[in-house]
A = this chain, B = another copy of it.
Amino acid sequence: MLSLPERVQVYEVGPRDGLQNEPSPVPTDVKVDLVQRLADAGLPYVEASSFVHPRWIPQLGDAEEVFARIERKPGVRYGALVPNMRGLARAQESGVDTIAVFVSASETHNNKNLNRSIDESLANIAEVIGELKGSGTWVRAYLSMVFGCPYEGEIPLAQVAQVAERLFELGIDQLSLGDTVGHGDPRSVGERVRSLGEGLPMDKLALHFHDTRGTALANIVAGLDAGVRIFDGAVGGLGGCPYAPGASGNVATEDLVQMLHSMGIETGVDLDALVGVAAFMEEKLRKRLPGRFLRAACGLYEPPA
């Protein structure tokens, strides 16, 4: 029998994790509108942009402008990805009070993606968090490749646990465990999360699934059953997968919310409003997004060719 909660928190990462993988550039106006519409739909967290150097992620090179222009809604956290001290300085100049840091559970992926070792990344994160002491800034961490890595295959659970524990020791407020390429399956997700939850604070763990193989919602069911109460999504399934053209990116937030509501699990999100945001992004990007419920809800909508 599935063990299910009454309430779940849904975290929106589309404006950052989605748009950083969109091939077409999105105007700042649209980004600001997107972030505000997501907050208006009732999402408690909207990751609005990234202070990674624009040389690496030109899609989000307008982070300062986005943060300068969004009207903040009380009770909503507007997050920004911060890779290092330079990014932190930019975030602080923009008045950001919610940051996200990231490291991989896979040594090879960390090296390829960030050009440094896991230890070096953790030292970096320690420096960023040290700088923030006393500022009241809330820190979310992303741990990548928790459920498999395209370079190393399965990452030993002890290694995942060790990096996760060090992140909490450094003072993060929440840890999002990432199935970065969508290799997770419901059995391994259930087993890994249950095992990690023994040494980590379960109420501070989130799950972040990419839907490359269509298993994201199935993995979320396994995560719910294992006790996780926070799940990430990107509206419309924005983003795609750089490893597999045509494959999906993050699970579509509205697919996740629809499933949770059908299961009688509260999220505080207005599903109709959220579907409206996904449709808005299809119109702006002039293409179909991979979200499933969007097609069921707006089946007749055909984006311009």
Contacts and interface: CB of A to CB of B under 8 A. Distances in A.
Nearest to A190: B2
Interface string A176-202: 000000110111101000100000000
A26 interface: no
A278 B245 CA distance: 17
A186 B247 contact: no
Interface of A: 1-2, 4, 182-183, 185-188, 190, 194, 211-215, 217-218, 220-222, 225, 241, 243-248, 252, 255, 258-259, 262-264, 288, 291-293, 295-297, 299-302
Contact of A225 (B2, B188, B248): B2
B244 A213 contact: no
Given A215-B217, A215-B259, A243-B299, 4 more contacts: A186-B263, A213-B296, A215-B292, A221-B222
Contacts of A246: 288, 295, 299-302
Contacts of A252: 214
B1 A292 contact: no
Contact of A218 (B187, B218, B293): B218
28 contacts: A1-B190, A1-B194, A1-B225, A2-B187, A182-B296, A185-B259, A185-B262, A187-B262, A188-B262, A188-B263, A212-B296, A213-B259, A214-B217, A214-B291, A214-B293, A215-B255, A215-B258, A215-B292, A217-B217, A218-B218, A218-B220, A218-B221, A221-B222, A241-B296, A246-B299, A247-B292, A247-B295, A247-B296
A223 B237 CA distance: 26
Contacts of A288: 246
A202 to B, nearest CB: 15
Contacts of A258: 213, 215
Chain A to chain B: the 10 pairs with minimum beta-carbon distance, closest first? A214-B292, A185-B262, A244-B299, A187-B263, A217-B218, A246-B295, A245-B299, A247-B296, A247-B295, A218-B218
A289 to B, nearest CB: 12
A246 B246 CA distance: 16
A297 B52 CA distance: 30
Q: Which of A182, A213, A252, A263 has the most CB of B within 10 A?
A: A213
Nearest to A2: B190
Nearest to A256: B214
A264 B246 CA distance: 27
Contacts of A221: 186, 218, 221-222
